[in-house]
């Protein structure tokens, strides 16, 4: 199955070097026209020139992803120039590493601003065009530091996991408009990882080995709501899951029961990947332990049983529940 991005218009942020450069080159090689964004004019110009030298189409757009007006102008220019905006690769990033104890809050905010709000700004500017054309592919760059934690990176971890939450909801909201939204968690030897890991640990981690994942997530038959991990030519998927858990109820010793049930609560054998946040509520009110004990408050008014399913009435959560049910 071959991927063809001819006629597609892509913006890659932070594409003046590192992973962004590699993503921009890869998308262009598959036929996309690419806006090469970066704060560094030298970097962005060089990458746009490199793409054109290979016969592709690219322009450099110099601005910070934190500058909303400039970002809006970049997206509008791409649409005016090439007729659409089909692919957004939110890649721009910075580090301000320190342990949380020593972290300056300005450094915490700066990292949130570039990674989270920068991605929000670019995606928000492209979103109306994608909805209008009923097509879009959005990629957020998350990180193993967000997914699993990393010493000295509380700001970065928080920003990167926030992007997973953003992706989860935008994938749901974009679905009916043909917009697919995914996350990429890369591993690559770049200026960002220089000094962070040893040369030995970084061996084999070329940026170009990550970019095929970006091309796949930019393709027409891309998945949605996926967290793709990529590094050294290997690709994996991360999931945010929910275990089956236990039902404790309103027992006087509920806290002690929770404490005594950690093994069962954390047992992953019947784990699921919820289709949306509402699945948690649904799972809890329908928990086999709860239904089994016949303590379902449905019979006491608030909830009505309909076969094996429950509908919540007269509550602000009803839309949420009705959707899941
Ligand atoms: N390298 C890795 O192993 C790794 C791991 C996990 C996540 N990431 C993420 O991948 C992305 C790319 O990282 P990289 O390793 O290529 O780093 P890099 O430092 O080589 O590249 C980042 C690029 O973003 C640009 N940039 C920074 N702030 C910007 C802003 N406000 N507006 C526009 N451009 C800006 C920089 O000028 C630079 O060209 C980042 O989001 C990073 O957090 C990288």
Residue-wise pLDDT for 277-293, tens only, equals 999 999 999 998 898 77
pTM: 0.91
* Cβ of 94 below 6 Å from ligand 1: yes
Report whether pLDDT(38) > 70.
yes
pLDDT, tens only, 185-221 = 999 999 998 877 788 888 899 999 999 999 999 999 9
pLDDT of residue 311: 38
The verdict on residue 40 lying in a domain is yes
**Cα 17 to ligand 1 centre (Å):** 8
| pLDDT number for residue 1 | 58
Mean pLDDT of 84-88: 98
Average pLDDT over residues 131-136: 98
Query: Which atom of ligand 1 sits closest to the CA of residue 118?
Result: 31
Q: What pLDDT band is residue 294 in, cutting at 50, 70 and 90?
A: low
Integer angstrom CA distances of residue 69 from 29, 75, 149, 295: 30, 10, 33, 55
Q: Report whether residue 231 contacts ligand 1, using a CB cutoff of 6 Å.
A: no
> In this predicted model, what pLDDT tens digit does every residue of 217-240 receive, in sequence order?
999 999 999 999 999 999 999 999
Ligand 1 centre to CA of 34 (Å) is 17
Average pLDDT value for residue range 56-77: 98
Residue range(s) defining the domain that contains residue 308: 254-324
pLDDT of residue 306: 39
pLDDT for residue 201: 80
Domain assignment of residue 244, yes or no:
no
For the CA of 92, the nearest atom of ligand 1: 24
Please report which residue ranges of 134-197 form alpha helices under DSSP H. Answer: 144-148, 154-174
Q: How many domains are contained in the chain?
A: 2
* 44 and 156 within one domain: yes
pLDDT of 132 over the 60 cut: yes
Distance (Å, whole) CA 135 – CA 175: 10
Residue 153 and residue 299 in one domain: no
Residue 26 domain-assigned (yes or no): yes
- For atom 6 of ligand 1, the residue with the nearest CA is 143
**What's the CA gap between 75 and 126, in Å, rounded?**
6
Q: Let me know if residue 246 belongs to a domain.
A: no
The edge-to-edge listing of strands for the beta sheet with 9-12 is 58-62, 33-38, 9-12, 87-90, 136-141, 179-187, 227-231, 234-238
Are residues 124 and 54 part of one domain? yes
Is residue 191 within 6 Å of ligand 1 at its C-beta? yes
Taking the centre of ligand 1 as the mean of its atom positions, its distance from the CA of residue 111, in whole angstroms, is: 11
CA of 207 to the centre of ligand 1 (A): 11
Which listed residue (156, 197, 247, 281) is catalytic?
156
Our answer to whether residue 30 is catalytic in this structure is no
CA distance 16 to 39: 8
Domain end call among 211, 238, 265: 238
The answer to whether the beta carbons of residues 35 and 58 sit under 8 Å apart is yes
Strands 234-238 vs 227-231: parallel, antiparallel or unpaired? antiparallel
Instruction: Assess if residue 215 is contained within a domain.
Output: yes
Q: Let me know: does 69 contact 43? Beta carbons within 8 Å.
A: no
CA distance 234 to 47: 25
Q: 52: domain CATH number? A: 3.40.50.720
| Residue 183 β-bridge partners | 140, 227
Residue 273 has pLDDT above 70, yes or no: yes
Mean pLDDT on 238-255: 97
Do the beta carbons of residue 204 and residue 18 sit within 8 Å? no
């Amino acid at each position: 199955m071959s991927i063809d991005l001819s006629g597609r218009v892509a913006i890659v942020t932070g594409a003046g070097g590192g992973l962004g450069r590699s993503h921009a080159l890869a998308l262009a090689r598959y036929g996309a026209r690419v806006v090469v964004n970066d704060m560094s004019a030298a970097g962005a110009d060089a990458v746009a020139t490199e793409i054109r030298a290979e016969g592709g189409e690219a322009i450099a757009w110099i601005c910070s992803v934190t500058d909303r007006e400039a970002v809006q102008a970049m997206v509008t220019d791409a649409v005016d120039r090439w007729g659409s905006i089909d692919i957004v690769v939110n890649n721009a990033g910075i580090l301000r590493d320190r342990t949380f104890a020593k972290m300056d809050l300005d450094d915490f905010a700066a990292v949130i601003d570039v990674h989270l709000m920068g991605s929000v700004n670019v995606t928000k500017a492209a979103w109306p065009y994608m909805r209008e054309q009923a097509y879009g592919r959005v990629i957020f760059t998350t990180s193993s530091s967000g997914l699993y934690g990393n010493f000295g990176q509380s700001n970065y971890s928080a920003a990167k996991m926030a992007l997973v939450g953003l992706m989860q909801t935008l994938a749901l909201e974009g679905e009916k408009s043909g917009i697919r939204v995914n996350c990429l968690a890369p591993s690559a030897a770049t200026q960002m990882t220089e000094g962070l890991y040893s040369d030995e640990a970084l061996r084999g981690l070329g940026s170009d080995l990550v970019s095929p994942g970006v091309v796949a997530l930019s393709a027409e038959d891309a998945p949605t709501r996926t967290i793709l991990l990529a590094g050294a030519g290997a690709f994996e998927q991360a999931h945010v899951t929910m275990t089956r858990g236990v039902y404790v109820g309103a027992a006087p010793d509920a806290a002690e029961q929770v404490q005594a049930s950690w093994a069962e609560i954390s047992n992953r054998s019947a784990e699921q990947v919820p289709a949306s946040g509402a699945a948690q509520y649904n799972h809890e009110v329908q928990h086999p332990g709860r239904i089994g004990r016949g303590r379902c408050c449905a019979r006491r008014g608030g909830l009505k049983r309909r076969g094996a399913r429950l509908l919540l009435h007269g509550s602000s959560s009803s839309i949420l529940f009705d959707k899941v049910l």
